[in-house]
Amino acid sequence: MPPIVTGIIASLLLLANTLFWACFLFPLTFLKVIIPVAPIRKVLTSVLAMIANAWITCNSGWMMLTQKMNWTIERPDNLNRQGWYFVLSNHQSWVDILVLQHTLNGRIPLLKFFLKQELIKVPIMGAAWWALDFPFMKRYSKEYLAKHPEMKGKDLETTRAACEKFKDMPTSVMNFLEGTRFTQQKHDETQSPFKHLLKPKAGGMAFAMSAMGDQFQSILDVTINYPDGIPTFADFIQGKMPRCEVVVEEKPIPSELMNGDYETDAQYRLDFQQWVQQLWEEKDARLESMRNR
């Protein structure tokens, strides 16, 4: 089919899939909002996660129907849907999110992103993220803390409280350490020391580690490569992404880095940054190997 026809069909399937599952998601979200009983909310959260996973599964279905793409996926065989994972990945396109969901759905708990507290006010989606227990972070700038020293540490307390429910609920937290999508221009402007990656931002990951402590059993280090060039979402939806390569590696988290104060403990901050630097050096070498196959 011509790309424009493929794009129209894929877009309609995505829309239909989203509207269908939204019919179940939002009524249950409303119930979760109005029912204050914790055990009932916990059951509703589990059902909502099942709906989100079903939406992702159906997305994979229309992707396989409309995108004549060769997938090459390497991942551990022992991934656990009842586990606790911190998932990190390189970031090149909005397509990355669909790739990650397609790669990991049904093998680990639903991917959740740390979100800024302000995003809970986003119409409809804010309620959906809240209902699915996406953790909302409240972070204060250095300038604000200088004027209000009494608020120091409150942001971490807020995030820890948001993550408290994860102690009894298997969770996968997702983070793009680069903080933005890779482009050659950004790479050059930031003088990244890596060939295929932007500089990683360790602070957000350290903040999550401080909030959730030793709940994470391991890191899932995901490397995404598009052999035929980085696609836009429009490219993808029109079937112009013929190949995608994904490598998932499970790595341990050093015990000394599971808990610490990244903002005030200089030695912890240095150790954490060096660990992240090593992860990124390995990922850069992996991407180089994948692109030279």
Residue 20 CB-half CA count within 13 A: 12
In a domain, residue 176? The reply is yes
Nearest-angstrom CA–CA distance, 205 and 135: 13
Residue 208 has pLDDT above 70, yes or no: yes
Facing residues of 264 across strands?
A: none
Q: How far is the C-alpha of 46 from the C-alpha of 133, rounded, in Å? A: 10
H or E, element range at 112: strand 111-113
Instruction: Measure CA 12 to chain center.
Output: 25
Q: Are 276 and 177 in contact (CB under 8 A)?
A: yes
Residue 215 has pLDDT above 90, yes or no: no
Which stretch of 30-39, 73-82, 126-135, 229-238 has the lowest confidence by average pLDDT?
A: 126-135
Query: What mean pLDDT do residues 218-245 have?
Result: 93
Residue 171 near residue 84, CB atoms below 8 Å: yes
Predicted local distance difference test score (pLDDT) of residue 67: 82
d(CA 288, CA 282): 10
pLDDT band, very low/low/confident/very high, at 125 (cuts 50, 70, 90): confident
What per-residue confidence (pLDDT) applies to 261? 81
Average pLDDT over the chain, rounded to an integer: 87
pLDDT for 63: 92
- Length of the chain measured in residues: 293
Question: Which pLDDT does position 158 carry in this prediction?
Answer: 64
Which token pair is 70? Answer: 């060769």
Kindly tell me if the per-residue pLDDT of 128 is higher than 90: no
Q: Say which amino acid occupies 209.
A: M
Give Cα 292 distance to the centre of its chain. Answer: 27
Instruction: Give the whole-angstrom CA distance, residue 292 versus residue 279.
Output: 20
- Helix ranges (H only) for the chain are 3-34, 38-66, 95-104, 125-131, 142-147, 154-163, 184-189, 202-212, 233-237, 266-291
Q: Is 256 helix (H, G, I), strand (E, B) or coil?
A: helix
**pLDDT tens per residue, range 77-118:** 999 999 899 999 999 999 999 999 999 999 999 998 877 777
Question: Is residue 149 a part of any domain in this protein?
Answer: yes
In a domain, 159, yes or no: yes
- The amino acid sitting at 16 is A
CATH of the domain at 103: 3.40.1130
For 157-181, how does the pLDDT look when each residue is reduced to its tens digit (9 = 90+)?
666 666 667 777 888 988 889 988 9
pLDDT band at 142 (very low <50, low <70, confident <90, very high): low
Query: Does the residue 91 lie in any domain?
Result: yes
Sign of CA dihedral 165, 171, 176, 180: negative
Q: What does the pLDDT read at residue 106?
A: 92
**Residue 130 resides in a domain:** yes
Is 25 domain-assigned? Answer: no
CA nearest to 10, candidates 224, 227, 232, 235: 235
**Neighbour-count burial for 105-122, b at 16+ CB within 10 Å, e otherwise:** bebbbbbbebbeeeeeee
Count of the separate structural domains present in the chain: 1
Residue 144 has pLDDT above 70, yes or no: no
230: which residues sit within 8 A by CB, 6+ positions away?
A: 92, 93, 182
Domain residue limits at 121: 70-291
For the record, the structure tokens of 203 come out as 């602070």
- pLDDT of the residue at 197: 96
39 found inside a domain: no
Residue 45 confidence class, pLDDT cut points 50, 70, 90: confident
Residue 264 lies in a domain: yes
Distance CA 89, CA 96 (A): 9
Highest mean pLDDT among 205-219, 232-246, 257-271: 232-246
**Local structure of 268: helix, strand or coil:** helix
Mean pLDDT in residue range 9-25:
93
